[in-house]
Amino acid sequence: MNEAILIRSAAIEGGDTADILIEDGRIAEVGTGLSRSGARTIDANGLVALPGLVDLHVHLREPGFEASETVLTGSRAAAAGGFGAVFAMPNTNPVADTAGVVEQELALGEAAGYATVQPIGAVTVGQQGERLAELGAMARSKARVRVFSDDGSCVWDPLLMRRALEYVKSFGGVIAQHAQDPRLTEGAQMNEGVVSSELGLAGWPAVAEESIIARDVLLAEHVGSRLHVCHLSTAGSVDLIRWAKKRGIDVTAEVTPHHLLLTEELVRGYDARFKVNPPLRREEDVLAVREGLADGTINIVATDHAPHPAETKATEWAGAAHGMVGLESALRIVHQTMVETGLLGWPDVARVMSTTPARIGGLAGHGTPIAAGQPAELTLYDPSAGGAFSETDLAGRSTNSPFFGRTLPGSVRWTIHRGYATLADGELVDLEGARA
């Protein structure tokens, strides 16, 4: 798998074209007219070369929920979407709240080989929000955990949140908060507003997200800690983060591709493919998160890839599971919502989908520039391609995508991870076969 690869005439981050020579898992050279005998040559004419994408927020479901996804199937989905690294949320069974579980996840990712699988540790034991998990043990484990989150649940107890923010400072960690006031969202089914009032679905009000963000940025300021806000979804949240950054608070924020594109109007048909937490919001919110991502208030795009088996979606709305798969569609959605609209250029896409997520997560070997001597983590994307998104575009175990039938621009053609191709000309590489 350590063959040399010569990528010819790729537009580096959408700019000047150059050849990229990859050898021994590193970028050996970037320049024009490169040659290397025996190298596998990729004609990248018309393709944009991006640093391998990094997703700070995915659910790989293993251990415990292998009917939805496994580390192997989820990292195949990652490779199909152009990702070289994913951060796996800890809401597995058992919960990833000990060194043992995070090391197991790390090992499964290494064995799969499609992407770096970096475990995220739970903040509290069993994600129960009662007492701190062994954050230090996870940080010092082989998995080198730096991001901690109770994602799916909010660390609601303000004192516990304060302690967590303080505690992770000793190893440069960050708390990634799923901002949702549990009392304000009991039984919540969709964004609270015009549509929920009409459909008779229990509302998930914007204030339930915003009040937690407001509290958390103030806590982070008070104790001088670093906070990351997961899947921010409302215009008010963007304003709060903007205010906090202006004040010098060490906060970063992410937005999902689906919150950049979809609105609550889609809930009208009660099709549970559109059920997600936080919920799809209003058009105004979609425009506000795009603007926030464009002006740097929101630092990164993360998918919140959340696989669920079909039967958990083919049911009445209230009984359906929350969540959408998103790895395979992420770059194309960002292309449509941010690049085609002129809000971001390709170097910005590299920043919000690779460089910055790797930096926030403290992950070495990813999000590095396309330059000689750097790790060979690359994504080659064809911006002129496109078509209707369908089940055949998915590579994971579950098919709960909200994007089926939508015409999306672009196509991820190649994913290079640690110097070898995991996606070759749009087809997943059979790594097991290659190793055998």
Partner 1 sequence: MRHLLDTRTLSREHAIRILDVAEDMADTQEREVKKLPTLRGRTIVNLFFEDSTRTRISFEAAAKRLSADLINFSAKGSSVSKGESLQDTAQTLEAMGADAVVVRHGASGAPRTLASSGWIDAGVVNAGDGTHEHPTQALLDAFTMRRRRYGADSRGRDLAGHRVTIVGDVLHSRVARSNVWLLDALGAEVTLVAPPTLVPQDVTRWPAKIVFDLDEAIADGPEALMMLRIQTERMTGSFFPNEREYARLWGLDPVRFRALPADTIVMHPGPMNRGLEICAEAADSTRATVLEQVANGVSVRMAVLYLLLAGEHAGSDDKEIR
Regarding 284 and contact with partner 1 (CB under 8 A), the answer is no
Regarding 192 and contact with partner 1 (CB under 8 A), the answer is yes
Which parts of 81-193 fold into alpha helices (H)?
A: 99-112, 135-140, 158-167
Contact 156, 129 (CB under 8 A): yes
Taking the least distance from each CB to partner 1, the nearer of 116 and 191 is: 191
- DSSP β-bridge partners for residue 409: 386
Which one, of 202, 194, 281, 182, lies nearest residue 234 by Cα?
Answer: 281
For the bound state, the minimum distance from the C-beta of residue 189 to partner 1, rounded and expressed in Å, comes to 8
Taking the least distance from each CB to partner 1, the nearer of 194 and 371 is: 194
Q: How far apart are CA 175 and CA 24, in angstroms?
A: 35
For the bound state, the minimum distance from the C-beta of residue 268 to partner 1, rounded and expressed in Å, comes to 9
* Residue span binding partner 1 (CB under 8 A) among the ranges 168-176, 185-193, 354-362, 397-405: 185-193
Regarding 405 and contact with partner 1 (CB under 8 A), the answer is no
Regarding 25 and contact with partner 1 (CB under 8 A), the answer is no
Taking the least distance from each CB to partner 1, the nearer of 116 and 237 is: 237
Lookup: tokens for 136? 């230090």
Lookup: tokens for 43? 């004609």
Q: Which of 1, 111, 194, 434 binds partner 1 (CB under 8 A)?
A: 194
For the bound state, the minimum distance from the C-beta of residue 271 to partner 1, rounded and expressed in Å, comes to 8
- DSSP β-bridge partners for residue 119: 88
Regarding 319 and contact with partner 1 (CB under 8 A), the answer is yes
- For the chain, the distance separating the N- and C-terminal CA atoms, rounded to the nearest angstrom, is 11
Which one, of 114, 258, 240, lies nearest residue 191 by Cα?
Answer: 258
Please indicate whether residue 304 is annotated as part of the active site: yes
Regarding 309 and contact with partner 1 (CB under 8 A), the answer is no
Regarding 278 and contact with partner 1 (CB under 8 A), the answer is no
Regarding 271 and contact with partner 1 (CB under 8 A), the answer is yes
- DSSP β-bridge partners for residue 55: 86
Q: Which of 55, 304, 348, 393 is catalytic?
A: 304
Q: Which of 198, 283, 425, 430 binds partner 1 (CB under 8 A)?
A: 198
Q: How far apart are CA 202 and CA 161, in angstroms?
A: 27
Q: What residues from 64 to 83 belong to the interface with partner 1 (CB under 8 A)? A: none
Q: What residues from 211 to 240 belong to the interface with partner 1 (CB under 8 A)? A: none
Kindly list the distances between the CA atom of residue 380 and the CA atoms of 150, 286, 344, in Å, as whole numbers in the listed order. 34, 28, 18
Q: Which helix (H) or strand (E) holds 384?
A: strand 378-388
Regarding 315 and contact with partner 1 (CB under 8 A), the answer is yes
Q: Which helix (H) or strand (E) holds 101?
A: helix 99-112
Taking the least distance from each CB to partner 1, the nearer of 273 and 413 is: 273
Regarding 409 and contact with partner 1 (CB under 8 A), the answer is no
Separate counts of helices (H) and strands (E) for the chain: 13, 19
C-alpha gyration radius of the chain: 21
Q: Which helix (H) or strand (E) holds 219?
A: helix 206-223
Give the binding-site size for partner 1 (rule: CB under 8 A): 24
Regarding 1 and contact with partner 1 (CB under 8 A), the answer is no
For the bound state, the minimum distance from the C-beta of residue 199 to partner 1, rounded and expressed in Å, comes to 6
Regarding 33 and contact with partner 1 (CB under 8 A), the answer is no
Taking the least distance from each CB to partner 1, the nearer of 206 and 334 is: 206
Regarding 197 and contact with partner 1 (CB under 8 A), the answer is yes
Q: Which of 31, 158, 182, 269 binds partner 1 (CB under 8 A)?
A: 269
Q: How far apart are CA 232 and CA 308, in angstroms?
A: 22
Q: Which of 156, 317, 343, 345 binds partner 1 (CB under 8 A)?
A: 317
Regarding 430 and contact with partner 1 (CB under 8 A), the answer is no
Q: Which helix (H) or strand (E) holds 357?
A: helix 356-360
For the bound state, the minimum distance from the C-beta of residue 269 to partner 1, rounded and expressed in Å, comes to 7
For the bound state, the minimum distance from the C-beta of residue 407 to partner 1, rounded and expressed in Å, comes to 22
Regarding 196 and contact with partner 1 (CB under 8 A), the answer is yes
Strands (DSSP E) along 190-315, which ranges? 190-191, 203-204, 227-229, 251-255, 300-301
Which one, of 392, 413, 409, 411, lies nearest residue 401 by Cα?
Answer: 392
For the bound state, the minimum distance from the C-beta of residue 267 to partner 1, rounded and expressed in Å, comes to 9
Would you please indicate which residues are annotated as catalytic (active-site) residues? Answer: 304
Residues in contact with partner 1 by CB under 8 A are 189, 192-194, 196-203, 205, 269-272, 311, 314-319
